[in-house]
Structure formats: structure tokens, C-alpha cells
Structure 1
Amino acid sequence: MKEISCKLLVIGAGPGGYVCAIRAGQLGVDTVIVEFGKPGGTCLNVGCIPSKALIHAAEEFEKIAHMAGGKGPLGIAVAPPTLDLTKTVAWKDGVVSRLNSGVAGLLKKAKVKTVQGWATFRDGKTVEVETETGSQVIRAEAVVIASGSVPAELPFLPFGGPVISSTEALALSEVPDKLAVVGGGYIGLELGMAFAKMGAKVAVVEALPRVLAQYDAELTRPVLKRLGELGIEVMLGAKAKGLSTKGDALMVETADGKNAKIAADRVLVTVGRKPLTEGWGLEQIDLDMVGKFIRIDDQCRTSMRGIYAIGDVTGEPMLAHRAMAQGEMVAEIVAGHKRGWDKRAIPAICFTDPELVTAGLSPDEAKALAGEIKIGHFPFAANGRAMTRQGEDGFVRIVARADNHLVLGIQAVGQCVSELAAAFGLALEMGARLEDIAGTIHAHPTQGEGFQEAALKALGHALHV
């Protein structure tokens, strides 16, 4: 059995793990990273990147479909389009492959040793890795657990056959005629809307009174409107019960307690994700837990000295950019730098149609914290750039303290608003006030002007609404 020793061992090469390893390598820390799959983790391989590729393809197909017959307002006429999903998936896989190679190259450039295989803890300083060439023991002074998460499964709808997770949905060879989506969160709606644009008849089953429950009703209203335009049936307060006897339909208990059957070629279960804490010897190191998640402090330290945990395995928000920021911080701590975790805001994006962005506090959260607040609301219907790209639905909203105008939260819904997330996050991190945003010259014509106008509206003198 081979043995190697290192300063830092990172378990998992997802966004948090590979960023941690690269930064540690840059700082001269002798680092080993272990990954049983491809570099990039869920996000790069079966999550963020491939889903956005599929969403983009669906949007392009729908645009062309609307142009068929010259019925669209732009005066463009084309023949009715066809979609070869096999080619679409192959293109998506090509994007993923290039990024896989990029991550591997960056790890090599930072002089990080990569071990392919499944790691299991022997104790707090030692893991055993099952590789293709046999077992390898790795001893490290510090260990970072970045094992990520996996799709949550329902006991009465186990994955297999017609029941699929987001992973299988991103690798289908053809568009299902009828798709039932269990779960009206961001994953279910992102993929459900994409398949609807590609021609599937989609039904969404959500147990709660509304979809996208983590966002406020005002923010999600344009998305609900778009669901209707796409012909997506949304069943609220409804509970999935299992497959029909023939396996060709989803059995549902409706909000009024009646039984219903939704015909479906595929049933996509998107009821959240769970941390990957099983199968790698967690019981050997006896870490403190918070429910299913590993407990950490503001420096991502666990209850055992020398062991850190980052990313999805540590709880919400399960976002790749949160894991990356944690990974960079931990690498610098291991290298002897003074670092802490004090983030004012971690932006979250929902890539539905239209897109949603939130950063900081919602109006209700801000009221609970600060009391009296000011809200600036600017509609994209009054924004020239949004109008020229047929994206008038939506708005930018700023929430600030009433006394000193400190910005507490920023939200937006509309086409391409995901690209405003960086500006929103920066404003919050820098402690911007309404006057700072209102006084910053924003380029024209851009949707970013809506950010400035929302600040002006909160101050009582909006210019374009």
C-alpha cells in the first residue's frame, strides 16, 4: 500500500475544493486533492454549467420557433425549426469537457497532486483512497472536507426508470412528450421551463402554497406569468404519491384532498439536495453536526483540530460561489494568513425565465432588523435596453435603512439580470448608501441603469418613471 504525506489534503474537487487546492498551491502549501469523479464536482459536471447550457439551447430554439411564419414583431421569418437533443447534449458535454481540462490544468499549474479515487477516513489525519491501481494512504497536517451534495430522493419515487434527478435530465437523448416535475424550487422550474420551450408538455407539482417559496411574491410574479405563457401546469398545495401501476403517470393528491393522475414519460424529482456525508468514514472522526450538515465556525473549522469543511456539506446556502470563497479563505488560513468569514451578502440567482437575483435582505427581513426602511422600485418597462431586447417584464428593487440610507438588500427579476449580481454584491460589501448608487454614472443604454434609477426612486427623485 502506497503512502504519501502532505501539508494539506482536500477531499473533493468541486468548486470549493479545487479553489482551495489551487490557492494553497499558489501559496506554496504542499497540497493533495482527492476526487472520485471528474474535476469540477456537481456544479461543473451535472449542475450549474450543463444546466445553463441546456437553458440557453432551449431559449434559442423557442426564439426561432416564434419566428416561424413571420408572426413575431421583429419582422424575421424562418422555417419551423427542429431540435436534435442528442447534438445539444453533445455540445453541452463539450463545454463541460473543456472546463474539466481547465480545472485539471490549473491544479497542475499550482503544483497540486491529484489522486483519483474514493477517500475514507482512518483518523483525523489519515485517509485511505481506493484508486484504479490499488489503495493509497495519505497523511496530512490539515484536511478540508469538500464532499458536496447529491439530489435528495423521495422514498416513494426512487430514482430509476422514468423517475430521474437533474443529473439524468441533463443527459436525455430526446425531449419527453410529457414531463412531470416534483418540486417547484429553482432547479425544478429552471429545467421545467427549458423542456417546455423545447416542446415538452410540463406539469409542476409543489406541496407548498406557491413555487419559488424562498423568494417573495412580488419578485416571483413575472416568473408565474411566464409559466402560464409556456403552457406549464402548476399544481400548488399538491403532494406527489408515486408512480401509477403502469409507470406512465404520476399519482398526486391535490390541495383539496382528491386524487389525480398526471400522464408523464419522465418524472423529474427536484426536492432539494442533501450533503454527501456517507461512505467516507465520518464516523471515524466524530465531528459535531447540525442536523445532516457538518458544524463549522467563521473560519470553516470543524469540532476536530486541523479539519475544515466547506461548501454544501456545511449547509445553506448551497451555492458554488459560497464554496469557492470558503475554499480560498481556508487555504490562506492553512498557509498562516489571518482570515475570517464576514460576508455581508452572498448573491443568489435563479435562472428561470425571467431570471431572479437576490443579495442581502428582503424588505420583510430589513424591516425586522432595522425598523423603518426605504424601498426603491424601478420597472424594466421604463428601461430602453430592456425594451429593445423584449424584456420589459421585471424590475430592480433596493431596500435601505430610512435613517442613514445604508443599502441592506437588492433584488431584481428580468431578462439577463444575473449579470447584475456582481454590482449588487459589491454595493453591499462596500457598505453603499442610496446616494452612492444614485451618484454613480451608469452606462446608457443598459439594464444596469435600472439599479441607479431604483436608488433615485428610493431617494424620491427618479428620473425615468
Structure 2
Amino acid sequence: MVVGDVTTGTELLVIGGGPGGYVAAIRGAQLGLDTTLVERDAYGGTCLNHGCIPSKALISAADVAHDAREAEGMGVFADPAVDMNAMTEWKDGVVTRLTRGVESLCKSAGVNLVEGTAEFVDEETVRVAHGGEGQGSETVAFEHAVVATGSRPIEVPDLPFDGEQILSSREALALETVPDDLLVVGAGYIGMELSTVFAKLGADVTVVEMLDDVLPGYEDDVAAVVRERAESLGVGFAFGEAASGWEPLDDGRIRVATTDEDDGIEEYHAEKALVAVGREPVTDTLGLDNVDLDPDGDGFLATDEQARTELDGVFAVGDVAGEPMLAHKAMAEGEVAAEVAAGEPSALDHQAVPAAVFTDPEIGTVGMTYAEAREAGFDPVVGEMPLRASGRALTLDEREGFVRLVADADTEFLLGAQIVGPEASELVAEVGLAIELGARLEDIAGTIHTHPTLSEAVHEAAKAARGEAIHTQ
């Protein structure tokens, strides 16, 4: 113990106040555990402050402007002006309201909130260094600890973040003016979401990606719909190129060099560059060497179905616990960790964890693809409805995209879904529930869906998989 430390104790110590951490803290307090939550930055974590929420706020605002501008086919003529500073202030107001809500929820549940950075001293205590000169530190003894320190943007060595011209997603979401031209390095979900936002707000956007298409990990026909829509918005793509350096220009812009697999060099000029090549877990502040807890080669902490690490009494949830790095997965893990710490028979079931990409159009997926089902030993059957056959999609002036269901041919149990289209992030919930409940194709096909709605496409896809399609051939 450091001289001058204050020593306290708690039954459940949660390190990190993001989605996994604050949910674990609240659930632990609900179950009667004396719970302490340590957060060094802002309650709600990256998701609420610099990721999920602010990005979706800007996506919504950009959509309003773009949809108004492009509604001539509906007989609506408008040329909206975009005040990026005012838009950012509105976005920040949404974030502030939610962060205060998280803090209020924790306090109402009886969670003890501590501001600072926690580092393990040994297997039963951490030291919390409080921010600011002269603020000191305190030692907290715990019975159970939940590591929920989240992740941060990966920095490309040749394009280190400077916060001014080489931006991470955090700085891009805080811009108060729309750049005339923006170079985006990385065509994953963050790169594609923000490329779409800034293109709709008037920026000239070019995306550089070292692979041969957008959205690695998604099926080709899923990615193609999003890429083609982005191209229609004016987004340019350069595939098979990796960023290899940059330099400032005399006019205040920058020049970014890229290299292809044949060592060919290309150059791009832009006002700013957004580097969005992925995220990495934050574990370097935890003092893991002091407790002999080693991350794997990718920096993640290995956990079992109860969110336990290799160290007795220590759990890990959210991004530090590995893929998929999703806020709702972190929340589920946080609940499980708290329940196990409280002696409850809780465990994780990852078979129905949905994922969403808030591009235009959206992507929503859950469970297995056809190829994954085959690899897992199933004899899969697929049912699909294109949105060009959906009355509701057409009334929204949306024609591209589809709903695809994957099921086991013998039993008709639902195995997965891939949805591309408006509100895909909402539509996928029905299939997730079906998988969780062990539902069959006939259960969805036999459920009357409201007309006219987008959800009818899920119904029709189920009927198509059974050879009973009515509205598609």
C-alpha cells in the first residue's frame, strides 16, 4: 500500500463504466452485492460517448438532410442547409443526456462510483489513481472483479493520429465543419458508416482498403449492396492498397501515400484523413503482470461461458473479452458476470448474438450464414425475399436489399439471417428471438405480420424456404 492511500473494500469491483461495466455494476447491486464501479473517463464508455450513440445521431441527421435533398421523385423539392456545428451540438446533447442517465442509474442502484484508473496490485486488491495533480490514489480490496476496460482505435504506424488532420473515429465524430474532401483508410463497419455520413453532408469521400471489397467478414452480396449505394452517393474506392505515409501540404491539406501488393504507389490529397482499421482491447493500464493474467496474441482476455478469466474471482466482459466487439454482447456478459459473482447459475449463450452495421442501407445479421451452416454439419435451406417486392420498401423509396433466412432442412429450426435494407437492425431481432426460442420456419411463416411493413419480408422469406412463397417467384 502506498503511504497516504485510503483503503476501502467491496464485494464486486467493476473496472470500466462502458456498456459491459455499468450493466455488471447495476446487476451486481440489484443482487445485493456491495458494488464499486471505477471509471477514468466518462460513464457509458466509448460506445455512448465516442462511438455507437454519437455516430448514430450523426447518421440520423445526415439522413434527414440527404432524404430531403433526394425526394424529388416523391414530389418533394428541397435544398436543406447543413450547419455542422449545430448538428454536433445536438449530437453532444444526446450523449450528455445518456451519460448522465447511466450515472443516475448506477447511483439509484446503490453502486459506489469512483473516478480514476484501476491497476491490479495483487489478486485481491487494485490501486485507483485519481485524475488530476494532487488527487492521490486509493486501494480497493475486492472479492470479485470484472474487467470491462473496452477498446480503442488501432493506430496505423505510418498514419499516427494527431487529432487535427489524421483522425480516429472519435475526432471525426467531433468535427464542427464538414471537410471538403475526406480520405478514409479502412472499409470496415466504422469506415463505411462514417464515409456515408460525410458523403451525405457534402464531403468528397475516398475510401482506401487493403482488401478487395468493403465490410470484410460479410457475404459478398451483402457487402455489394452497401458498396453500390455508397458509390451512388459519390464515395470512391481504392481496393488492394495500404496506407504507407503522409505529409502536410503548403495549402493546409495533406498528401497520403498508399502501396499495393506489387509495391506500386498512389497518392491522395485531402483536407483530412480518417483512419478506421479496427479496434484493439485496452489492457495495458491494468497491471496484469501483477496478477499473472496474460492476454492472448490479439490482446484479449480468455473467458469461459460464465465470463470467468483464468484468474479465480476475476471476470472479463465486452471488448476485452474478444469478438464480437459489440455493446449488446458486452451488456449480456456484464449481467452474467455479476450473476455468477452473486452465486447465480448464469451462463452465456452466443448462438443468437445479432450484429448491425448502420450504413445505407443497414445490415442486420444473426446466427449462421449458409456456408457456416454447411460447415457445422447442417443441411441448410435458404429462403429469401428481395425488397423490390416489398410494398412498404417501395413506399419508402427503397428497392435494394433483401431478407434471407437460413434453416436446417430436416427440422426447419432457424439457424441464421442476413438482412440488408432499411431498419435491418430492428428486423433482425425477430430472427434472433426465433433462434433463441428454438423456433422453426413454420412458426414464422404461420405468424401473421402487419401489412404493409418491412417485417413482412421476414415472413415471406420463411415461406420461401418452405416452398410456399406468395409474393416472390
TM over 0.5: yes
Q: Deviations over 1:135-184 (max 9, x none)?
A: 11111111110000000001111000311000000001110111000001
Structure 1 residue 367 and structure 2 residue 374: aligned? yes
SS at match of 2:89: helix
Contact preservation (8 Å) 1:293, 1:315: yes
The one-letter code matched in structure 1 to 2:203 is: A
Which residue, out of 212, 217, 231, partners 2:215?
212
Q: Assess if the C-alpha contact under 8 Å between 1:236 and 1:255 holds in 2.
A: no
Q: Report the secondary structure of 2:407's partner residue.
A: strand
Q: CA deviation at 1:283?
A: 1.2
Q: Distance in 2 between matches of 1:276 and 1:150?
A: 7
SS in 2 for 1:385: helix
- Residue 258 of structure 1 and its aligned partner are, at CA, apart by 2.6
> Which of 291, 306, 310 is the aligned partner of 1:285?
291
Q: Is contact 2:69–2:77 with CA below 8 Å preserved after alignment?
A: no
Cα offset, 1:329, TM superposition: 0.8
Q: Within the alignment, does 1:10 sit opposite 2:8 as a pair?
A: no
1:354-395 residue CA offsets vs partner (Å, 9 max, x unmatched) = 000110001111111134221001011111111111112111
Is contact 2:288–2:294 with CA below 8 Å preserved after alignment?
A: no
- Note the 1:427-438 alignment, pairs <5 A: 427-438=434-445
Q: Which deviates further from its counterpart, 345-354 or 217-226?
A: 217-226
- CA distance in 2 between partners of 1:371 and 1:333 (Å): 33
Q: How does 1:378-417 map to 2 (within 5 A)?
A: 378-417=385-424
Residue equivalent to 2:327: 320
Residues in 2 aligned to 1:295 and 1:287: alpha-carbon distance in whole angstroms: 10
Give yes or no for contact 2:449–2:459 (8 Å, CA) kept in 1: yes
Q: Tell me the distance in 1 between the aligned counterparts of 2:268 and 2:80.
A: 28
Structure 2 counterpart of 1:313, which letter?
A: V
The answer on whether the counterparts of 2:390 and 2:454 sit within 8 Å (CA) in structure 1 is yes
Q: Find the aligned partners of 2:346 and 2:379 in 1 and give their Cα distance.
A: 34
Give the structure-2-normalised TM-score.
Answer: 0.95
For 2:264, the equivalent position in structure 1 comes to: 258
For the residues of structure 1 that align with 2:112 and 2:54, how far apart are their CA atoms?
27
Paired position in structure 2 for 1:32: 36
1:155 to 147, 154, 157: 157
2:349 to 322, 336, 342: 342
Match of 1:73 in 2: 73
Residue of structure 1 in register with 2:27 after alignment: 23
Of all paired residues, the percent bearing the same amino acid is 48
Gaps of 5+ in 2: none
Deviation of 1:76 (Å): 1.4
CA distance in 1, matches of 2:15, 2:281: 14
Offset of residue 342 of structure 1 = 2.2
Amino acid at match of 2:47: C
> Separation in 2 of the partners of 1:244 and 1:111?
52
Quick one: distance in 1 between partners of 2:223 and 2:242? Answer: 22
**Alpha-carbon contact 2:364-2:428 (below 8 Å) kept:** yes
Runs of 4+ in 1 over 6 A off after TM superposition: none
Shift of 1:257: 4.2
Quote the Cα distance in structure 1 between the aligned partners of 2:52 and 2:26: 20
User: Counterpart in 2 of 1:63?
Assistant: 67
Alignment-derived partner of residue 113 in structure 1:
112
Paired position in structure 2 for 1:85: 84
* Paired position in structure 2 for 1:226: 229
Deviates more, 1:25-34 or 1:286-295: 286-295
Distance 1:355 1:75 in 2: 25
Give the whole-Å Cα distance in 2 for the aligned partners of 1:446 and 1:245.
51
Q: Would you say the 8 A contact 1:343–1:429 is kept in 2? A: no
Structure 1's unaligned 5+ residue stretches are none
One-letter amino acid of the counterpart of residue 440, structure 2: R
Contact 1:243 1:251 in 2 (8 A): yes
Q: Which amino acid aligns with 1:459?
A: R
1:182-212, CA deviations, whole angstroms, 9 ceiling, x for partnerless residues? 0010000000110000000000001011111
Q: For 1:144, which of 135, 143, 146 is the aligned residue?
A: 146
Residues 34 and 114, structure 1, Cα contact 8 Å, conserved in 2? yes
Residues of 2 paired with 1:286 and 1:264: CA distance?
46
Match status 1:173 vs 2:176: yes
2:243 corresponds to: 240
The one-letter amino acid paired with 2:87 is: T
- Deviation of 1:461 after TM superposition, in Å, equals 1.1
SS of the aligned residue for 2:74 comes to coil
Work out whether residues 235 and 254 of structure 1, in 8 Å CA contact, stay in contact via their aligned partners in 2: no
Is 1:269 aligned with 2:275?
A: yes
Helix, strand or coil at the partner of 1:344: helix
Letter in 1 for 2:84: L
Offset of residue 64 of structure 1: 2.4
Cα distance between partner residues in 1 of 2:404 and 2:31: 40
> What's the counterpart of residue 129 of structure 1?
128
Asked if structure 2 preserves the Cα contact closer than 8 Å seen for 1:370 and 1:401, the reply is: no
Indicate the larger mover: 163-172 or 284-293. 284-293
Contact 2:198–2:205 under 8 Å retained in 1: yes
Alpha-carbon deviations, 1:382-439, whole Å to 9, x = none?
1111111111211100011111111111110001111112212101111111111101
**Which moves more between the two structures, 130-139 or 44-53?**
130-139
Deviation (angstroms), 1:301: 0.9
Structure-2 separation of matches of 1:116 and 1:138: 13
**Is residue 2:202 matched to residue 1:199?**
yes
Q: Match of 1:93, as an amino acid?
A: D
Q: 2:384 aligns with which of 374, 377, 381?
A: 377
The normalised TM-score by structure 1 is 0.97
Aligned-partner Cα distance in 1 for 2:312–2:350: 24
Question: Is the CA contact (8 Å cut-off) linking 2:27 and 2:335 kept in structure 1?
Answer: yes
Partner Cα separation in structure 1 for residue 428 and residue 440 of structure 2:
17
